[in-house]
Structure 1
Amino acid sequence: MSCLLGSPLRLRDVTLSNRVAVSPMCQYSARDGFAGDYHFVHLGRFGLGGAGLVFTEATAVVPEGRITHGCLGLWQDEQIPGLHRITQFLKAHGTVPGIQLGHAGRKASMQRPWEGNGPLDESNFAQGERTWETMAPTAIPMDEGWLVPREMERADMERLIAAWVAAVGRAEEAGFEVIELHAAHGYLLHSFLSPISNRREDAYGGDREGRARFPLEVAEAVRKAWPAGKSLFVRLSSVDGIEGGWQLEDTVWLAGRLKEIGVDVIDCSSGGLAGSATAARVKRGPGFQLPFAETVRREADIATMAVGLILEARQAEAALAEGKADIIAIGRQALAHPNWALTAIGELEGDVPEGFQRWPQQAGWWLERRQRALIKN
């Protein structure tokens, strides 16, 4: 029995083998922005696990755009080979490799989560890690005790647009087929969008049009630099979840503008403007962000990727069948179950020996025979 979750999806000239994506998840394990063996194994296992699309974690377009000292980067050519090794492995196993490009803005120069998830302190300085200058649309720190960012000038914006374009070229050389522009979770582009963090009085602040100007300029430059046959996603915080902040109707409006530029998919997340990306500003429960993806898909007439506590195969299948999203992204569920895509699709199609044909033959060969033995008994 076929299922929507296991069906292919064509995005421009790229076809996903199924509708399961592994969401970008920061691992804070890079050295000077370079991908290493950890990233190869971490991302490679999701390819073996059958996901149709696998994203790298947030990858900074400039050194000062990293969230932490352990974040990935793509600001120099020397960082290409480590990522190319990953993309070639994923492609060899039928998975489309994607990369999320971003800038942390006022949430840069911070600790890794397990170190405290706050501003760098003496414990970090003792390890030789130092703070760096942060930037934002307005010189407002994320919270008390955090670094006060420098208010960006137009020259800063131009420099960062050029950095994004250069990173796009490197992403193509590294073998990626999908780019996601990170405009969520309180990082630089999101901080321009929200009236809480953007208090500018020039053309890049004020009303919704002004606050969206720089993110739209970045998206347009990225789309022009990225080959026409390859797909562009944008991750948005659909709502800030804070009074006076960015609202779902704003996201629908922005999704329409992004569609005009040539963006193909909106990745519908939420929150993160104040606090960590997973701070519970929006009430959480299974599939809690599906209504955002459904609304954007319907009202902006653009494909969406749903993410957020999508845990079960039938939950994911129902979201697709009910028109709430086009792609289902899993994050921490993939960390717990790297083979989630294969097992979920297998469950929906019926747990029969033939179902293991989707698996890498090194594993499927054994599992098929075990299943036949179980059926006989």
Structure 2
Amino acid sequence: MARVLQKYGGTSLQSTERIRLIADRAIREQENGSQLVIVVSAMGDTTNQLVQLASEVSSCTAGRELDLLLSTGEQISSSLLALAIQERGREAIALTGAQAGLETEEVHGDARITDVNTAKIREELNAGKIVLVAGFQGCAKNQEICTLGRGGSDTTAAALAAALQADRCEIFTDVDGVYSADPRYVLGARKHERLNYTHLLTLAETGAEVVHPRAVAYAQDHQIPLVVRSSFHEQEGTKIQHDSGIAFPVVGVTFQKGLSYFQWRGKIEEEELLAGLADVNSLVGNVQVSNGHTDLIIKEEHGSEMSAWLNENKHKLGINSIQHAEGMTAVHLVFADLDEKRRLAPLLNEKELVPSGDVYRINCAPDAWSVVVPEEYAVEVAQRIHDWFMGLESKKASIAL
């Protein structure tokens, strides 16, 4: 009997009608002979609504009570889905993260899973039940509920799939697979039929919001086949496996919005800068030191803090002329492999792919070419880059013919 783990995101669960459709789908999967575990996110914008409610009564943005509050969103989804399945005459049970055996570190807001005890889930599966698990949460050793951060339901699903030795883990979302770019913004984006874990992990780490990077890492470490597919129809999605190749020279174009950009001249060493960043608890996105200039990209939420630290320490560090820009977006072009990077990256630097004068930095990392631009240009830049490499692919195909 196959053991299948499915995960449904908030858009898939945004109404009771959608929940009833998922219940029907779950029953069909069980009728096909599968033991089924389903991890759910909170319905629609429930998490954002809970955060807003909390902000109306408190200035606290993290901590025990907020985790307790936010964890209820997924518990509502799992309970409603269990009830919908039971209404159809099938056995189902809803479990919180703690009841499902997910143990986390004692960190509120962004905890990592440290252990998974699957005894309860296995017992219920062997009793013939469909098991519904509230994602995004677990329980620390002190019995406190801790949430896993944004995208935490993906991580819950992958961790359970690994612990249960599932035959496959299906990530259901509002798109029907992994594309060469976000089809909501970039015209002509193509769906990948297959990708390997490394490709998907790079896409996730550079801004693609299909699957959380931690979930991809879990699947890769335990060799759990992933499938990314739509919850709105039955079409095939994108299969993620160890040795899957792709048909394009580039995996895709991604965005990372909400960034702050800093540049200055000076002799500050990168190690010294990183030590300073650690002192102010800022998350470093990217540091680049070259030709007497230092470039720094961090999350925008840390921009004012970083600006204050740099200005306070600039004389001690020997830096001057600090340039600071908010509202930046990094657009990344992820290469299929190192050979494609060597072939395409030099050409990219020669193309008119970004509005003149609005490029803040071009960088070539081991597996991606990136450009930082103001957010208002991001979609235009992504479209130009995508059109460029798809044009190369079309020429390559016509030559082959």
Establish whether TM, by shorter chain, passes 0.5: no
TM-score (norm 1): 0.29
Which structure features the higher share of strand residues? Answer: 2
Structure showing greater Rg: 2
Higher relative contact order (CA 8 A, sep 6+): 1
TM-score (norm 2): 0.28
